[in-house]
Structure 1
């Protein structure tokens, strides 16, 4: 058993406020006494830089840290009603500890994000902490007294695009993404339904990365995409979630009923007998609808190539909905991000529309 020595214990008294700081090798435990609580201390577990940047690319090392947080630190709060766990870290991977906790459902984390250079479109500082980023100009340094434009520029050049995106901007992938130029997505509130030529809903039923520590259920995503009469493409709807197989099939069926019979449905069929049985089971579940399994081949990057090209020439529109921001963020980190199910489903829908377009079979079943 590993034993960590206590480095120091400090007590600070200001009127009736008391703060005890017990410092150990891996984390700091703060016991804070609030004026209003008076006799009830608040225990804060402060986890500082849980990942070693040199080891964060290791699946084993990363998952080990996540399991430590979930299975060890989750039991360290003696009074959950008045205790808190705090993670202080730089982003170094999509699947790091911050990425893990932000993706968890049913857990209320407050996310305070302070990128080294200000990005107006990433306002992640309005929290119960009553703090608001005072910066207003794009690219403005966080702490110009220490790192001004010159110093930040030198550091960015030394770190490179990938490390700068994570360690400085708290976005663990270069801005603009790898395959997808996400700034070229057109965003609209609505479209004219009369201009829709063909509609496809494509389902990816196995979009959870193996890096997900909570892999008891896999994330499913279904993307509805239109091919328009002006030869453009529109991402109209995204349904996604982690469900058991029974609930998933009910949601897929319910979605088909809401989409209507004019929407063609495709189900990604993964390699192997299990993938075939799963896809065929969904097709049977959607009896009465135009639904077929899609036996995919090649890498996900290859399958997304033509879709990414259309995004690059500004020929893909995404409707402004509650799911839009996450949809675009996933494209930004594709193909190295933690999740790829929305991108996989979108590229699948695009490929089916594109093949139909090339074959000139509008209005026909294929």
Structure 2
């Protein structure tokens, strides 16, 4: 349902996908725009997003100060809220039934409500034993989406989050350490296009630390500048350094342009599909040989993409990540890191 409010009275309650011609409002409230049974219908999700962008968005009377509120349970990574969170300008109030991390909810006048790990949203109506029973009957996938507002099965899909190790400070560097800067690039910064993503690894023996992740929609000139900027930053950090770029799309032009700047980039022609490439690295991650920072500005977005893979909407960070691990351990001048290849005994 969608409710338009002008002044102090509700003016209309059209259905999602319905016409709004001739109607406007100062406050638009969208309530549960997607039905649970439509969550896995790509057509239904796209229809909802198109209705929002092409019909509803223009109905604000004063676009400088009017507001839109979306109230919904999460149903899919690519539902309307997932789509809107990819854009700027939204305040996100996320209230999972069971708090999975400690966070503060602002109440105004510099007051906060603190939720600690394990706190229940409404223990009188939904105590822990009731929620546990719901999870058993619904399954972890639907429970994670509808009750936890995290439309990914607990722990992840192909990759489990608890497989990773975590560090408070990055390790120091030894003469034998390597730095690998891996790029998965996209050509366009149009709204629905892919991101360009970069993952930076420090390698020591059979261990990898993720030092940095960059992800943004960039037109080619901005992409080129960013690649050079990160190259110069990390090239100084270690004597053994490799810049790796997937040889497709804008990456092909980028490799040539960097050569003109006397910057050597290793071009990678991917083999197999992206699920196969990431799956080849899961044994190493599961063995505890890959570490992430305990806190970083990019960590939440990286976590969402990793845990959603391969069902998530975006895979740019995953592609750069698997490419970096492959370069680090499986393509060292023809040497193969057999220790972590599944199925070999």
Instruction: Choose 1 or 2 for highest CA Rg.
Output: 1
Output one character per residue of 1:38-60: Cα deviation in whole Å (capped at 9) or x when no partner.
xxxx9321000011222222222
The alpha carbon displacement at 1:247 in A equals 1.7
Provide Cα deviations, 1:311-340, integer angstroms capped at 9, x if missing partner: 212111123432123222221111111221
Instruction: Report the Cα offset of residue 352 of structure 1.
Output: 0.6
Cα deviations across residues 47-99 of structure 1 (Å, max 9, x unaligned)?
00011222222222212211221222221211234421000001111111111
In the alignment, does 2:231 pair up with 1:247? no
1:308 maps to 2:282: yes
**TM-align CA RMSD:** 3.2
State yes or no: 1:126 paired with 2:109: no
SS in 2 for 1:142: coil
Spell out the pairing of 1:1-366 with structure 2 (5 A cutoff). 19-26=8-15, 43-104=26-87, 107-121=88-102, 123=103, 125-126=105-106, 132-133=112-113, 135-138=115-118, 140-188=119-167, 189-194=169-174, 197-206=177-186, 214-215=191-192, 217-229=193-205, 231-260=206-235, 262-270=240-248, 275=249, 278-287=250-259, 288-319=262-293, 320-356=295-331, 359=334
Q: Which runs of 4+ in 1 moved over 3 A?
A: 124-137, 356-361
TM-score normalized by structure 1? 0.78
Name the stretch that deviates more: 181-190 or 49-58.
Answer: 181-190
TM-score by length of 2: 0.83
| Contact 2:163/2:287 (<8 A) preserved | yes
Per-residue CA deviation, residues 173-217 of structure 1 (Å, 9 max, x unaligned), is 112101212123223222102265222211111499xxx9922x4
With over 3 angstroms needed to count, the CA separation of the structure-2 counterparts of 1:154 and 1:303, relative to structure 1, is same
Unpaired runs of at least 5, structure 2: 17-24, 337-345
| Pair 73,120 (structure 1): closer, same or farther in 2 beyond 3 Å | same
Deviates more, 1:248-257 or 1:82-91: 248-257
CA distance in structure 1 between the partners assigned to 2:321 and 2:187 by the alignment: 12
Tell which deviates more after alignment, 70-79 or 233-242.
Answer: 70-79
Mapped partners of 2:190, 2:131: distance in 1: 35
Count of residues in correspondence between the two structures: 322
User: Is contact 1:180–1:334 with CA below 8 Å preserved after alignment?
Assistant: yes
